[in-house]
Amino acid sequence: MADKPYDAGDETQTKVKKSKRELIEDREANELKTVLDTYEGRAVLWRVLSTCGVYKESFALDSRIYYYEGKRSIGLELLEMITTLDKNVYSRIRDEATERES
């Protein structure tokens, strides 16, 4: 038997959908927290953010700008996820990266 189509007006369906979304968001937050709880995880995230060019200008005179902005967009999304989870951890990630580079 096929599932009923989703009906946003159906309170029961809306609660179930919201619960599933919240469970997924909680799981993803816990996964990221696990990564952030390790020095190695923070080092990897710093490399990803650096590769994404979060703080670099994306300007190019050709279609490469779309590629650069795509990378930057992913980096900004990751940075938002990190800072939403723990607003102080980014400075820790940055400080550890500075120590590794010296």
Is 91 inside a domain boundary?
A: yes
Domain count, the chain: 1
* Domain assignment of residue 11, yes or no: no
Residue 68: enclosing H or E segment and its boundaries?
A: helix 64-85
Tell me if 25 is assigned to some domain: no
Assigned domain for 1 exists: no
User: Domain residues for 57?
Assistant: 41-102
pLDDT single digits (tens) 45-93: 999 999 999 999 988 999 999 999 999 999 999 999 999 999 999 999 9
58 CB-near residues (< 8 Å, 6+ apart): 65, 68, 69, 72
pTM: 0.78
